[in-house]
Amino acid sequence: MGRDPRELGGAWQSAQRHSFRAPSSALALYVDRYWAVSWEYDRPYRQLVVPLPQVHLSFHHDHAELHGPCSTHVHRDLSGAGSVFGVAFRPGMFGVFLGAPVASLRDRMVDATTVFGSGLPMVADAATVERFLLARLPASDPLAELAAEMVTTIATDAAVTRVDTLAGRFGIGVRRVQRLFADHVGIGPKWVIRRYRLHEITERLAAGGEIDWACLAAELGYADQAHLSRDFRRIFGEPPTGYAQRYGPG
């Protein structure tokens, strides 16, 4: 069976609309962004969703869901017309709302009212949800903020390819880093490092030109190209060149 042509060259964008909004400064420590997506398909479409180490609060037409950090890609089946509004929490900062280790939400979806209560508004707009969250701001948590800073370091510094490198940057032990990530990020530091380093592959593919895969694997901290390819497929759902076709020239 051939590949759905709507997956290629950005064609999926013709049936979807995405928008993003930054939170207020008062909430920026906890929330990364608000997002909204709408779609209209005359026949079902299987949407690939690639994970980031974030918790999402999503509002549907009659309920709200909490999605914990996922360890691998997932697919969502879209059909007809629909829309979802969501809140992407800053990695490391949802545990202060949850009151439990974020690892308890890993690879899980739960009814959002189990965490936020029945007063959670079902009005899907940023202003309403922001007022609700601001009224429930938790006390500051230095450990959560440390975990969030570690994720930011991973995301912005390509030289971080190992957990012991990250631990050394912050002057703490590897086991403490692992505990911080279990409690506040919900997924291990090794996974987070690989997720962000693998994203750099998609950027290089989008830029065009030849890639020396063996050299790139070594640069990103992999033993060989085969290990890199397996990790990429596990997280992104397909080999690097196949994934790049989703966004490259049609």
Under a CB-based contact definition with an 8 Å cutoff, are residues 102 and 185 in contact? yes
Nearest to residue 35, comparing CAs of 48, 62, 12, 16? Answer: 16
Question: Is residue 250 in some structural domain?
Answer: no
- 162 and 239 belong to one structural domain: yes
- 100 and 190 belong to one structural domain: no
Which domain range does residue 200 map to? 142-244
**Of the candidates 134, 158, 183, which is a domain's last residue?**
134
**Of the candidates 116, 134, 152, which is a domain's last residue?**
134
- 69 and 99 belong to one structural domain: yes
- 123 and 221 belong to one structural domain: no
Q: How many domains does the chain have?
A: 2
- 164 and 103 belong to one structural domain: no
Rounded Cα gap, residues 211 and 16, in angstroms = 31
What per-residue confidence (pLDDT) applies to 210? Answer: 77
Q: Output the six-digit token pair for 96.
A: 């202060």
Under a CB-based contact definition with an 8 Å cutoff, are residues 53 and 185 in contact? yes
What per-residue confidence (pLDDT) applies to 248? Answer: 58
What does each of the 250 residues of the chain score in pLDDT, given as a tens digit? 578 899 888 888 889 999 999 999 999 999 999 999 999 999 999 999 999 999 999 999 889 999 999 999 999 999 999 999 999 999 999 999 999 999 999 999 999 999 999 999 988 789 999 999 999 998 999 999 999 999 999 999 999 999 999 999 999 999 999 999 999 999 999 999 999 999 888 888 777 767 888 898 888 888 888 999 999 999 999 988 888 888 755 4
